């Protein structure tokens, strides 16, 4: 088990730890803090878990709502964590995922001087020399960065995305604390909401650290621009690398209409059904042709330009699908179409993580009912968003972890279908999906792909045959030399060990107190040595020490809540 010694134990970290725990208690999660035995790890005693209780207004809210409010108050790292978890309903209950999707970055804009200093530090020149015009008032402000309008010397209008000064250090401290909490959750709350908290925090650290480096987002935008270079229905804003870096990202200003403003689009003569088709085709090309797709295509990130052209903004969250995941997705669809539940479960075992506790009979029953519910529905009436949501609920119910990119794809597909049906009530995502699926099937069954797969498998088996004799020989030699070892690791016993350790310490303490009392009583009977009011001072001193130690032990037991 990892102790908190691996966490940066400076004063700022401890203060932040106490702040986090205080906010959790404020929103009614004191029982979770108590179960984590945090006072055992942080040498701060019971002060940590006695910071207050939830108010009556907060107690009237349900648990997902209280946790969302706590995340908003905890700041950017926890807001971002909630937003990431909202895309993983296979890991947390659906009601939590839905509530976390409401998380907003409620932060005031950074001071203008700080933003200008950040830009000058990154680009090496004063802002007034870089831009003809730079608007100090941001057009958007989030927890990690904010966006300003500007104009280049060439006359081009641009937007400048700037990382908040000092935010990297704040997030790094929070990530260390989250990792410590993740280890505690795994050890003390095995039945918690998150299936694998340590893996979640590690993945979250990777995502956040990528978002803190704007050059990664800039490269992603360039990849999208190259993919859609010959597509006149899609516009990708240009990155101005001369004015961009790790903490600053400058790109073309997009003067379009949000896709959610349907009335304005109609008034200005846009063809809404054509916009829906263009958007669906663009997204499906991202997924099934390029293997790189926009992970958050909600209406606020989709703009419409003249000619019914689609423009997606904010490429901080993207998903990746290699050929293996594409073919696995294809296999899942074929299993549902052919109503092959056994093969569907096999595909879930291959791509997901089915634990030994999973009831496969119940899983098969749930999947059979799921397939039967949608088998008789015509494609025109099929709601792919609802279908994916119900499928993910089955995964979550049976605690099956699934590849993050496939879950992100499901969420993005739901968002795109919602936008499409808002534009055109007759919009049919399945009809747009069908030709892409057929193309993927043809590619998979093509002689070139089949021969490539056969060659790859042949090379793998050949490598196995080469190494197998040596591995067998090494195994036999180890057995003959009595050096064959099997390492066993106990899991889930840390809390029992901790409780036994605490109980033995209390028992030893009690025996020590008893010994002091018995010794003092014997001294009192001798009536020798210095006397005080006719009683031996040594005996009185022993009684006093025993009394103080006994009082200390009683208080510790009462404060632990375990008599």
Question: Among candidates 338, 344, 345, 275, which has minimal Cα distance to 306?
Answer: 275
Residues 6+ apart with CB under 8 A from 225: 236, 238
Question: Among candidates 257, 252, 254, 224, which has minimal Cα distance to 240?
Answer: 252
- Name the residue with higher pLDDT: 447 or 220: 220
- Name the residue with higher pLDDT: 400 or 484: 400
DSSP 124: S
- Name the residue with higher pLDDT: 222 or 507: 222
DSSP 241: G
pLDDT of residue 500 exceeding 50, the answer is: yes
Separation between Cα atoms, residue 197 and residue 185, nearest integer Å? 7
**Quick one: pLDDT at residue 234?**
94
pLDDT of residue 293 exceeding 80, the answer is: yes
Question: Among candidates 351, 283, 343, which has minimal Cα distance to 319?
Answer: 283
Separation between Cα atoms, residue 497 and residue 503, nearest integer Å? 10
**Quick one: pLDDT at residue 383?**
65
Kindly state the tokens that stand for 316. 């901080």
**Residues facing residue 81 across a β-bridge:** none
Q: Which span out of 177-191, 304-318, 327-341 was modeled with the highest average pLDDT?
A: 304-318
CA Rg value for the chain: 31
Give the tens place of pLDDT for each residue, 402-453: 777 777 787 788 788 888 888 888 887 777 777 877 777 787 778 887 788 7
Give the tens place of pLDDT for each residue, 105-147: 667 788 889 999 999 999 999 999 999 999 999 988 887 889 9
Which pLDDT band holds residue 23 (cuts at 50, 70, 90)? confident
**Residue keyed to tokens 């050949």:** 462
Taking CA 281 as the corner, what is the angle to CA 278 and CA 286, rounded to the nearest 5 degrees? Answer: 125
Where is average pLDDT lowest: 177-181, 328-332, 362-366?
328-332
pLDDT of residue 486 exceeding 60, the answer is: yes
Strands 234-235 and 309-312: parallel
Q: Quick check: helix, strand or coil at residue 280?
A: helix
Burial of 263 (0-12, 13-18, 19+ CB in 10 A): exposed
Whole-number Cα distances in Å, 245 to 109, 242, 248, 379, 380 = 21, 8, 5, 47, 47
Separation between Cα atoms, residue 139 and residue 359, nearest integer Å? 51
Residues 6+ apart with CB under 8 A from 394: 363, 366, 367, 370
Contact, 145 vs 119, CB < 8 A? no
pLDDT of residue 525 exceeding 60, the answer is: yes
Q: How many CA atoms lie within 13 A of 45 on its CB side?
A: 5
Question: Among candidates 111, 158, 112, 110, which has minimal Cα distance to 131?
Answer: 158
Average pLDDT over residues 536-541: 78
pLDDT of residue 100 exceeding 60, the answer is: yes
**Residues facing residue 160 across a β-bridge:** 148, 250
**Quick one: pLDDT at residue 53?**
54
Kindly state the tokens that stand for 456. 């790859």
pLDDT of residue 515 exceeding 80, the answer is: yes
Q: Which span out of 105-109, 193-197, 548-552 was modeled with the highest average pLDDT?
A: 548-552
**Chain mean pLDDT for the chain:** 79
**Quick one: pLDDT at residue 41?**
47
Q: Considering the entire predicted model, what is its pTM?
A: 0.71
- The H or E element containing residue 385 is helix 384-397
Residues 6+ apart with CB under 8 A from 466: none
Contact, 293 vs 406, CB < 8 A? no
CA dihedral 258, 262, 263, 268 (to 10 degrees): 70
Separation between Cα atoms, residue 189 and residue 197, nearest integer Å? 10
How far apart, in Å, do the first and last CA atoms of the chain sit? 27
Separation between Cα atoms, residue 338 and residue 180, nearest integer Å? 46
Q: Which span out of 22-31, 233-242, 383-392 was modeled with the highest average pLDDT?
A: 233-242
Q: Quick check: helix, strand or coil at residue 309?
A: strand
Kindly state the tokens that stand for 392. 């993910």
**Quick one: pLDDT at residue 351?**
63
Give the tens place of pLDDT for each residue, 222-248: 999 999 999 999 999 999 999 999 999
pLDDT of residue 277 exceeding 80, the answer is: yes
Q: Can you spell out the DSSP letters for 52-73?
A: ----HHHHTS-HHHHHHHHHHH
Backbone angles phi, psi at 294, to 5 degrees: -70, 125
- The H or E element containing residue 174 is helix 167-188
**Quick one: pLDDT at residue 204?**
83
**With pLDDT > 90 as the criterion, what percentage of the chain qualifies?**
18
pLDDT of residue 157 exceeding 50, the answer is: yes
Backbone angles phi, psi at 355, to 5 degrees: -80, 170
Give the tens place of pLDDT for each residue, 43-90: 444 444 444 555 667 777 888 888 888 888 888 888 888 888 877 766
CATH fold of 107-170+210-253:
Phosphorylase Kinase; domain 1 (3.30.200)
- Cα torsion angle, 224, 226, 229, 230, sign: negative
Kindly state the tokens that stand for 118. 């950040």
Q: Which residues are catalytic?
A: 296
Can you say how many angstroms the Cα of residue 523 is from the centroid of all Cα atoms in its chain? 65
Which pLDDT band holds residue 2 (cuts at 50, 70, 90)? very low
Contact, 335 vs 343, CB < 8 A? yes
Contact, 198 vs 190, CB < 8 A? no
- Name the residue with higher pLDDT: 484 or 95: 95
Can you say how many angstroms the Cα of residue 357 is from the centroid of all Cα atoms in its chain? 24
- Name the residue with higher pLDDT: 423 or 501: 423
- Name the residue with higher pLDDT: 6 or 370: 370
């Amino acid at each position: 088990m990892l102790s908190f010694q691996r966490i940066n134990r400076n004063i700022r970290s401890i203060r932040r730890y106490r702040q986090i725990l205080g906010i959790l208690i404020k929103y009614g999660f004191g029982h979770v803090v108590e179960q984590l035995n945090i006072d055992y790890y942080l040498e701060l005693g019971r002060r940590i878990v006695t910071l207050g209780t939830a108010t009556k207004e907060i107690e009237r809210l349900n648990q997902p709502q209280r946790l969302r409010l706590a995340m908003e108050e905890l700041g950017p790292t926890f807001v971002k964590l909630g937003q990431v978890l909202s895309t993983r309903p296979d890991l947390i209950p659906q009601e939590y995922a839905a509530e976390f999707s409401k998380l907003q970055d409620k932060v005031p804009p950074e001071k203008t001087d700080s933003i200008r200093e950040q830009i000058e530090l990154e680009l090496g020149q004063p802002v007034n020399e870089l831009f003809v015009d730079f608007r100090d008032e941001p057009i958007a402000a989030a927890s990690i960065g904010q966006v300003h309008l500007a104009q280049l010397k060439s006359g081009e209008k641009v937007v400048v995305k700037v990382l908040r000064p000092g935010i990297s250090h704040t997030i790094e401290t929070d990530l260390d604390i989250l990792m410590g909490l993740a280890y505690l959750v795994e050890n003390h709350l095995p039945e918690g909401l998150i299936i694998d908290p340590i893996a979640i925090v590690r993945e979250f650290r990777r995502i956040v650290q990528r978002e803190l480096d704007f050059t990664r987002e800039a490269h992603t935008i360039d990849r999208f621009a190259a993919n859609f270079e010959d597509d006149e229905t899609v516009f990708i804003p240009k990155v101005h690398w001369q004015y961009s870096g790790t903490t600053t990202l400058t790109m073309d200003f997009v003067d379009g209409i949000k896709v959610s403003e349907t009335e304005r689009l109609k008034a200005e003569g846009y063809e809404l059904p054509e916009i829906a088709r263009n958007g669906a085709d663009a997204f499906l090309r991202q997924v099934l042709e390029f293997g790189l797709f926009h992970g958050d295509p909600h209406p606020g990130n989709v703009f419409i330009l003249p000619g019914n052209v689609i423009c997606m903004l904010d490429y901080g969250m993207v998903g990746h699908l290699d050929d293996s995941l594409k073919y696995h997705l294809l296999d899942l669809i074929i299993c549902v179409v052919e109503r092959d539940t056994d093969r569907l479960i096999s595909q879930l075992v291959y791509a997901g993580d089915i634990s030994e506790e999973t009831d496969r009979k119940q899983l098969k029953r749930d999947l059979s009912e799921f397939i039967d519910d949608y088998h008789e529905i015509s494609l025109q009436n099929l709601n792919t968003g609802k279908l994916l949501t119900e499928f993910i609920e089955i995964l979550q119910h049976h605690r099956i972890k699934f590849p993050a990119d496939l879950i992100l794809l499901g969420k993005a597909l739901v968002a795109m279908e919602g936008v499409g049906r808002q534009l055109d009530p007759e919009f049919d995502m399945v009809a747009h999906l069908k030709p892409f699926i057929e193309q993927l099937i043809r590619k998979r069954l093509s002689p070139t792909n089949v021969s490539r797969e056969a060659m790859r498998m042949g090379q793998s088996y050949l490598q196995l045959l080469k190494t197998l004799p040596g591995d067998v020989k090494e195994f036999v030699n180890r057995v003959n030399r009595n050096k064959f070892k099997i390492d066993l690791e106990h899991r889930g016993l840390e809390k029992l060990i901790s409780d036994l350790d605490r109980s033995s310490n209390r028992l030893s303490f009690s025996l020590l107190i008893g010994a002091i009392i018995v010794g003092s009583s014997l001294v009192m009977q001798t009536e020798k040595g210095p006397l005080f009011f006719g009683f031996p001072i040594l005996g009185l001193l022993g009684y006093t020490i025993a009394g103080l130690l006994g009082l200390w032990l009683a208080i510790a037991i009462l404060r632990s809540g375990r008599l």
